[in-house]
Amino acid sequence: MKHYSIFASFLILLSCTSPKEKLAEAPPKFQSIGSVERLDSAINSLISSEAKIEVLASGFEWAEGPLWLEEQQALIFTDVPTNKIWKWTEKDSLSLYLSPSGYLGDRTDKREPGANGLALDADGNLILCQHGERQVGKMLASLNAPKSEFEGLATGYDGKRFNSPNDLVFNSKSQLFFTDPPYGMDPWDEKELDFQGVYRLDTDGKVNLLIDTLSRPNGIALSPDQRMLYIAQSDPGKARYYAFDFDEMGNVISGKVIFDATSLQSESRKGLPDGLKVHSGGTLFATGPGGVLVISPEGKHLGTILTENGTANCAFDTGENYLYMTADAYLMRIELK
């Protein structure tokens, strides 16, 4: 009788639990991975101690170029080797967004033919760094009805074809800054430029060479006041993040290394400086050895979001509620304060 009373009381307790209370006890929706290394207390104002790295999707060959689409409440990102762009939403999960994305030819043996970095111009058009076509292109379709039809906005410099445009960023004047390392080139491709450049595309279509001294310029971003250009260099011997000052016309006038990550490379910390984004408060979230390095505007390493994978790039949603990360075969995110 005593046992029966206890069981009956348990049933009554369950029946009285509100749906909200039951939901709070439900298991997490996404698998978590990795951890957050905290080297300076300043990181706590950006990432809470309870924040987890969530795996949203997996199975990609090399995920890259994340971009948040506010109107669709969606993240799109590239899978460079497979020549595709994928779309993820909280509601509908994963779906194919665009294929092909960066190469329109017939060869099937290209290593990294797809699009890499993605951005939106002032009119809401999708702008892509297209490895296979060796250009910065514009998709000639709306974001809601994507099609593999493109216009080349920047195809070369000084009469020579680009290597393989990699990452890009617009300023408020609609000037486009982009990097051009050779990572998307195949052995049979003719290399027409003898340097890896950083360029500015003006609204009149003119391509301006800004920097030709970096060995492997990769990720690119602007400071919140748009007076400084950040560039990640994915050179194992010089794994660095640079900051370059602008004049009012968008020309580089000086530059410096703000953080050198060369010594951080190890078997347990995979990856090189690659993509990076700048928080509205000025802090850099820069992919590199171990995951995503969090670096103050002054160049202090505040900590690392350790993803346990080589990490290619990252992006904020509009409200900076989450940082989305493309890490090898995975799409991940972590909640921000």
Q: Please determine, for residue 13, whether its predicted confidence score (pLDDT) is greater than 70.
A: no
Give the pLDDT score at 29: 84
Q: Please determine, for residue 9, whether its predicted confidence score (pLDDT) is greater than 70.
A: no
Q: Please determine, for residue 320, whether its predicted confidence score (pLDDT) is greater than 60.
A: yes
Which of the residue ranges 6-10, 116-120, 182-186, 254-258 would you say has the lowest mean pLDDT?
A: 6-10
Place of tokens 């989305």: 324
**CA angle (150 as vertex; 144, 156 as ends), nearest 5:** 140
Place of tokens 């486009």: 176
CA 27, CA 25: separation in Å to the nearest integer?
7
Give the pLDDT score at 53: 98
Give the pLDDT score at 145: 98
Domain boundaries, the chain: 32-335
Mean pLDDT of the chain: 93
Helix (H, G, I), strand (E, B) or coil at 6: helix
Q: pLDDT for 224-241, tens place per residue?
A: 999 999 999 999 999 999
Q: pLDDT for 114-134, tens place per residue?
A: 999 999 999 999 999 999 999
DSSP string, 46-96: TS-TT--EEEEEE--SSEEEEEEETTTTEEEEEEGGGTEEEEEETTTEEEE
Give the pLDDT score at 156: 98
Q: pLDDT for 260-282, tens place per residue?
A: 999 999 999 999 999 999 999 99
Q: Are 333 and 56 in contact (CB under 8 A)?
A: yes
Give the pLDDT score at 249: 85
Give the pLDDT score at 200: 98
Q: Are 297 and 255 in contact (CB under 8 A)?
A: no
Give the pLDDT score at 15: 43
Q: pLDDT for 44-63, tens place per residue?
A: 999 999 999 999 999 999 99
Q: Please determine, for residue 174, whether its predicted confidence score (pLDDT) is greater than 90.
A: yes
Q: pLDDT for 144-171, tens place per residue?
A: 999 999 999 999 999 999 999 999 999 9
In the CATH hierarchy, which fold is given to the domain comprising 32-335? Neuraminidase (2.120.10)
Token pair for 65: 């170029």
Read off the pLDDT band of 4 (50, 70, 90): very low
Give the pLDDT score at 28: 62
Q: Please determine, for residue 26, whether its predicted confidence score (pLDDT) is greater than 70.
A: no
Q: Does residue 18 or residue 219 have the better pLDDT? A: 219
Helix (H, G, I), strand (E, B) or coil at 227: coil
CA 95, CA 235: separation in Å to the nearest integer?
34
